[in-house]
Amino acid sequence: MDIAHKTAVVTGGTDGIGLEIARQLMAKGASVIVCGRRADRLAAAAMEGMEAISADLSSADGCDQLVKKLTGRPIDILVNNAGMSGNFGPGEPIDLKRTDQAIFLNLNAPMHLIGALLPGLLARQQAAIVNVTSGLAIAPNGGSPVYCAAKAGLRSFTLSLRHNLKNSNIRVIEALPPVVDTAMTAERTEKKMSAKDCAAEIVDAIVADKKEANVGMVKILRTVYSVSPALARAVMIKF
């Protein structure tokens, strides 16, 4: 896909991977609309030349509000990037309210936005839907049960959606990042990929019309999983 002169919507686009995706799409000539919750980050994104919309996508109402603000706009690229962990530690009580919010943001929100924006995307000459899942959608770890479940669900949805739209003008892309240096992973101490480098691989996949962007160390995970799913799961569950 030629990014120039396209209009892209990037959810969670005011920080981390989303912000870097937005910047790199802009650098290739796209008009970019980002959404987020924090006023200071929205203002900073606007200063960089992005259109910034306040939206909390952890509920159906928040998704509906964003869709209303996008009504009538010519959208060519939808990047479903917004996410949260919603996890709990060993022996900790499960915060069901936070769990529900995390599952909605990570899984339901992309489906809501795709459903609402699909007619417009189908009307474009060329379009792309990018769902940002995770290497943990392939094999879960033991410390992120809610996040793993939601991302695995989004991966399954993406695979099915791609088949559903295979004869259309829309390229459905799954991006599977490794551990990336963002606010969500601030407490993790292992080596992390930079958000800028992660975003570069995702944007390259959009340009190349790839079906998947296996980013960084996820390439190794995919190789191991192709040889032995059981081994991949045994390794990742301790990660």
Per-residue pLDDT tens digits for 184-234: 776 776 788 999 999 999 999 999 999 999 999 999 999 999 999 999 999
At residue 181, the pLDDT reads: 77
Which residues does the annotation mark as catalytic?
147
- Tell me the whole-structure pTM to 2 decimals: 0.94
Q: Determine the average pLDDT of the residues in 64-77.
A: 96
Report the distance separating Cα 202 and Cα 20, nearest Å.
Answer: 10
CA distance 188 to 91: 19
| Structural tokens at position 91 | 């022996």
pLDDT digits (tens, 9 = 90+) for 88-133: 666 778 888 999 999 999 999 999 999 999 999 999 999 999 999 9
Query: For 142-190, how does the pLDDT look when each residue is reduced to its tens digit (9 = 90+)?
Result: 888 999 999 999 999 999 999 999 999 999 999 999 998 777 776 776 7
Per CATH, domain 7-236 is 3.40.50.720? yes
Helix (H) or strand (E) holding 35: strand 31-36
pLDDT at 138 over 90: yes
Residue 238 pLDDT > 80, yes or no?
A: yes
